[in-house]
Amino acid sequence: MTMPRMTMKACIGLLLAATLSACSGGATIEVPTQFPVPLVQPLPLTIGLHLDKSLTEYVHKEAIEARGNWRIILGPAQKPMFDSLLQGLFTGVEFVDDPLAPNDGIAGVLHPSIEELQFSTPQQTHTEYFEVWIKYKFILYDNNGVALGDWELTAYGKANEGNYGMKSKEPALQAAAFAACRDAMAFFTLEFQKVPTVKNWLQSALKEGRT
């Protein structure tokens, strides 16, 4: 029995649509902007914080073959993230436009940047997890605008797609990226004072009583 021509075309159209839908994939997520303040004993200093547009407008874009286009909008979360972080670590935080300019009202200036972001999907790793890695770089300046040194920090976050229901790539990827930001805050809090550049700067700043 021969299938009618219009029915045949309709079936082909549905098949093509299903194929394209399966191959399009992709997602666009924006990282949440509310972060907790670390519960630690703050240093009796006022720290300057310089955030440039390359950080506050950071967007990771990646095209994955047969999985579509992916965008992780990370920039808007960086100001509240670092503000909350440093509010916990110091008694005062001030935003600084130019880290190279002398400023007697602060002990120094921290300038963070994102060097790299990577992520993986469950289809790539054959697991149930979305994973996100963020590589940060920090430069520390004294209150005369002199660069004292720099160091790097790599943060990691993951989220099980099964915890977010069917077709959960957007909320699961968002959760993984947010977890990576939280991991960066925790790692920074634990390791900050152990960095040689920071240790030397703190000894001098605390001795001189720069508040």
Residue range 126-155, pLDDT digits in tens: 999 999 999 999 999 999 999 999 999 999
What is the reported pTM? Answer: 0.85
The pLDDT value given to residue 64: 87
Residue range 30-53, pLDDT digits in tens: 999 999 999 999 999 999 999 999
The pLDDT value given to residue 6: 44
Mean predicted lDDT score pLDDT of the chain: 88
Largest Cα–Cα separation, the chain: 94
The angle formed by the CA atoms of residues 87, 59 and 119, to the nearest 5 degrees, is: 95
What is the amino acid identity at position 168? Answer: S
Cα separations in angstroms, 139 against 5, 51, 73, 90, 146: 68, 11, 23, 17, 10
Summarize the confidence of residues 108-124 as an average pLDDT. 96
Name the more confident of 202 and 169: 202
Note down the domain range covering 143.
Answer: 5-208
CATH number at residue 26: 3.40.50.10610
How many structural domains compose the chain? 1
Q: How far is residue 138's CA from residue 34's CA, in Å, rounded to a whole number?
A: 22
